Amino acid sequence: MGKKILVLTGSARKKGNSNRMAHAFAEAAAARGHDVNVIDTATLKLNFCHACETCYKTGKPCSFDDDFNTIADDILAADALVFSSPVYWYSVPSQLKAVVDKMFSFVVGGKTDQFFGKECALICCCEEEDPAILDGVRIPFERTAALNKWTQAAALADKF
């Protein structure tokens, strides 16, 4: 049976490398019968996590209302989360990081039954040749996956 796959992209360059890889993945997954949704985090109005830990206490995932609240249910409903990101200064771009940080609301807000146990994958690109350049995206992704009991479907790295 097809899975519900949510792809979160992290580059503002619509025809950039990570978006092209994300859409190639999405098309291939949809052709295999999966229900795929791509959310471009660069188009969202996002604030940072205030660590106020009032998540869901005011009736919404984040008390500091922004576009995370419009995608939180999509994240929870997904069987698999795919992150497609460029490397920015050896790390994750701020727009995608803001979404990941705000996923803390699912833990604080008691949504772990839906948030834990998903499948996940990382698609990542950078400019420099050394694959270790991806470490600043790959290692936090792998640790986040382990903490959230996500099963890694694949870790893809590519350079266009």
Ligand X SMILES: Cc1cc2nc3c(=O)[nH]c(=O)nc-3n(C[C@H](O)[C@H](O)[C@H](O)COP(=O)(O)O)c2cc1C
Least spacing, CB of residue 120 vs ligand X, in Å: 19
Q: Between 107 and 156, name the residue whose CB sits nearer to ligand X.
A: 156
Q: Which two tokens stand for residue 25?
A: 């993945």
Q: How far apart are CA 105 and CA 115, in angstroms?
A: 10
Least spacing, CB of residue 31 vs ligand X, in Å: 23
β-sheet with 35-40: strand ranges across: 35-40, 4-9, 80-86, 119-125, 151-158
Interacting residue ranges for ligand X, rule: CB under 6 A: 11, 13, 16-19, 86-90, 125-128, 133
Q: Between 44 and 107, name the residue whose CB sits nearer to ligand X.
A: 44
Q: Which two tokens stand for residue 51?
A: 């660590």
Q: Between 29 and 133, name the residue whose CB sits nearer to ligand X.
A: 133
Least spacing, CB of residue 7 vs ligand X, in Å: 13
The 3-state secondary structure of 112-160, one letter per residue: HHHHCCCEEEEEEECCCCCHHHHHHHHHHHHHHHHHCCCEEEEEEEECC
Q: Between 20 and 118, name the residue whose CB sits nearer to ligand X.
A: 20
H or E element at residue 81: strand 80-86
Q: Between 1 and 89, name the residue whose CB sits nearer to ligand X.
A: 89
